[in-house]
Homo-oligomer: A and B are copies of this chain.
């Protein structure tokens, strides 16, 4: 039995033995609860530790001078924030909890050392960073070349896939706990228009939605509408060399 999100995550990028799993567990001793709407990282702050989402949802975002907010990443359990924070003097985007969230505060030195000790873990961390990178590119394609309905469908498809990847066996839910405004901020749309898109998707029985969240009813249809290809989330991997 393994319910630790970091272990689940890293095992997509490598094989871990018991000792490595235990070391990862030991890494996450300082866990704090963050209420919805509270900042985990503030824009402009010095980052002195790595944040790991243990449960709940968070978002990395930027607020422009005119007050507009753009979400640049949605963070799910197992997602590491600012893994290389020791290299940066200050963070240029904030991170906020979108649901009640549990966050592990990790000392960067501990991670660095662990990566050094275990080639497997180092490899898996690099792997996570690659996937993150691919996800950012997928978002750019989504925002640049798809209409609103397709964009929403694509984003929800991505989130369904990512939830399934970190959910303990078979426990995957199809509920996305984001408000329409948060979806809008992630996709470069307005809340009003996301609302209209949501109505259309509900009309086609692809999703249902209630205050504070969406439920995916027909994932294949959603993927088709968004032109979604999940390859970037779990690309076929080549194992680390010896």
Q: Which A residues form the contact surface with B (CB < 8 A)?
A: 60, 62, 64-65, 68-70, 72-73, 84, 86-90, 92-93, 123, 126-127, 129-130, 132-134, 136-137, 139-141, 143-146, 187-188, 227, 231-232, 235-238, 240-241
Residues of B within 8 A of A84 (CB): 126, 130
Given that A139-B140, A140-B70, A140-B136 are known contacts, is A145 also in contact with B188, CB under 8 Å in the complex?
yes
Given that A136-B133, A137-B62 are known contacts, is A144 also in contact with B87, CB under 8 Å in the complex?
no
User: What CA separation (Å) do A154 and B92 show in the bound complex?
Assistant: 17
Residues of B within 8 A of A64 (CB): 141, 145-146, 227
Add 5 more A-B contacts to A129-B129, A136-B136 (CB < 8 A).
A64-B227, A87-B130, A88-B237, A89-B237, A92-B232
What are 10 pairs between A and B in contact, CB < 8 Å?
Answer: A62-B141, A68-B145, A86-B238, A87-B237, A87-B240, A88-B130, A88-B237, A88-B238, A140-B143, A143-B188
Residues of B within 8 A of A89 (CB): 235-238
Residues of B within 8 A of A93 (CB): 137
A144 and B188: CB pair below 8 A? yes
A127 (CB) vs chain B CBs: closest residue: B87
Number of copies: 2
Residues of B within 8 A of A140 (CB): 70, 72, 136, 139-140, 143
A129 (CB) vs chain B CBs: closest residue: B129
CB distance from A85 to the nearest CB of B (A): 9
CB distance from A12 to the nearest CB of B (A): 12
Residues of B within 8 A of A87 (CB): 123, 126-127, 130, 237-238, 240
A68 (CB) vs chain B CBs: closest residue: B145
